[in-house]
Amino acid sequence: MAIAGTVPTELGDKRIRDLLMQYAVPAIIAMTASSLYNMVDSIYIGHIKDVGSYAISGLAVTFPLMNLATALGTLVGVGASTILSMLLGQRNYKAANKVLLNEVLLNIIIGVAFSVVTLSFLDPILMFFGASQNTLPFARDYMVIILLGNVITHLYFGLNNMVRASGNPKLAMGLTVFTVVSNTIMDPIFIFVLDMGIKGAAIATVLCQLMALIYTARYFFNQNNYLHLPKSLRDYKLDIRIAKDSLTIGMGPFLMNSAACIVTLFINQQMLKYGGDLAIGAYGIVNRISFFFIMINMGFNQGMQPIAGYNFGAGKYTRVKRVFKLTVICATIVSCVGFIVSEFMPDLAVSLFTNDPELKELAVKGLRLANLAFPLVGFQMVATNFFQSLGMVHKSILLSLSRQLLFLVPLIYFLPVFFGHRGVWMSFPIADTAAIVLSTILLLSLFRKFRKLNDGDDPDILGSKMKFKEA
């Protein structure tokens, strides 16, 4: 863990296996906690007396909008943290502080703009996303509060990424765990004790993030840290060049999450058309279960990112390749566990979210079908993040979008014509398989080029444009 006034030079020297565990384990705990954060809301909402099934379906309707909000957050946060890691590898601390400042300003601007626009047209947006007269009230009640606190959410997650990228993964983990524990305690109080229903879940979520944000802000206002925010408001000016670089690198995960928004929209519409409100609720449950394992793999990716970025910036390509291979192995193991749960223990997993027999049956069948190709999903996720960590934006974008838009969307529309709502579930493993094949082709090409490089060589042959010198 980096302490105030120190620089994480260990990223370029320490054994890769130890580094990956050092950085990935806190990130995994944090991302797992984050997935539990979302699961807790779903679990409690699904058990609201008399309306639980419609409430959890209403929550599922909000997923496209939540994905879009996340996309805007990653547009800023991922790009900024990637640049930060490279700058630290080059010991360019002045520029690193500028990146931090711009990350804060961009999150505020984008967060406010998103809330204003979506709140102005919330009902039509939710109806477009698959809400019915039964589920619209629940979706609206939840999203109004979430959107009012959207800036808090953006700043919290953005600064948390910067804490991790700056060499303090344990603090980032601790803050995330804090929000999860707090949310687990506050959810039943607001939902059941105060009888606020789905509104209570949203209030608890925003309050927990606010408390964590306050602590994170205090950390970055500490002028003794090598990475810190300025005290004077006169220094809070957006640097267009840095903003452009951050947004360019963050475009890959932004498009991936935007694609997830579009895909979820199509899924909800097809589920509503072929299966009704409960089919949407079943998808919401399957999404939460799958997301748990995906978030663990995202934790491995977050652990890999500063190591790969730092060593790439330092010209240590042997270490870059090593961290990729280890991350793939770990992610594949996690994906295999997710596959086992989905295929052999679906009843147990689904029972956490609902006791409704019809909804439970739909979710169990959906979980088994959707995750048939899950063992190799971890590999595809690591590949996408690896290209992004090296500044290879176009390849990262291609991999991000191919699975979602190029493969999944056509299948979502084509297969239900023949198989009903089962066709939606069948689309997932087919699209996953196609995306895995594409990732393999691009990685083989990249590693053939890597073999021509010695440590310290110019990386132009790889196609990366990320070269940050002293500002």
Distance (Å, whole) CA 24 – CA 323: 11
Angle at which helix 393-401 crosses helix 251-275, to 10 degrees, equals 10
Distance (Å, whole) CA 346 – CA 362: 11
Using alpha carbons, select from 274, 317, 322, 311 the residue that is nearest to residue 424.
Answer: 274
Domain boundaries, the chain: 32-462
CB 190, CB 196: distance < 8 Å: yes
CB 305, CB 385: distance < 8 Å: yes
The predicted pLDDT at position 8 comes to 54
CB 83, CB 246: distance < 8 Å: yes
- From first to last of its 471 residues, the chain has per-residue pLDDT tens of 333 344 456 777 788 888 888 888 877 877 777 677 778 888 888 777 766 678 888 888 888 888 788 788 878 877 788 788 777 767 777 878 888 888 888 889 999 999 999 999 999 999 988 888 888 998 999 999 999 999 998 888 888 888 877 777 778 878 888 888 898 899 999 988 988 888 999 999 999 999 999 998 888 887 777 777 777 677 777 778 878 877 887 776 787 777 778 888 889 889 989 988 889 889 989 988 998 899 889 889 888 888 888 888 777 888 888 899 999 999 999 999 999 999 999 999 998 888 888 889 999 999 999 999 999 999 999 998 888 888 777 788 788 778 888 899 999 999 999 998 899 999 999 999 999 999 999 999 888 887 776 776 666 666 555 554 443
The predicted pLDDT at position 464 comes to 58
The predicted pLDDT at position 403 comes to 83
Angle formed at CA 135 by CA 277 and CA 57, multiple of 5 degrees: 50
Residue count of the chain: 471
Distance (Å, whole) CA 73 – CA 76: 6
Q: Which helix (H) or strand (E) element contains residue 237? A: none
- What's phi and psi for 392, nearest 5 deg? -90, 75
What's the distance, CA 471 to chain centroid? 30
Taking the CB of residue 406, how many other CB atoms lie within 10 A of it? Answer: 15
The predicted pLDDT at position 227 comes to 75
The predicted pLDDT at position 373 comes to 93
Distance (Å, whole) CA 17 – CA 303: 11
CB 179, CB 37: distance < 8 Å: yes
Distance (Å, whole) CA 187 – CA 164: 27
Which tokens go with 56? 């959890």
The predicted pLDDT at position 393 comes to 72
Using alpha carbons, select from 449, 468, 469 the residue that is nearest to residue 459.
Answer: 449
Which tokens go with 57? 């379906």
Say what the pTM is. 0.76
DSSP-H helix ranges across 238-376:
240-249, 251-275, 277-313, 317-344, 346-351, 357-370
Distance (Å, whole) CA 389 – CA 9: 18
Q: DSSP label at 272?
A: H
Distance (Å, whole) CA 337 – CA 244: 39
Using alpha carbons, select from 78, 403, 27, 103 the residue that is nearest to residue 253.
Answer: 78
What's the distance, CA 433 to chain centroid? 21
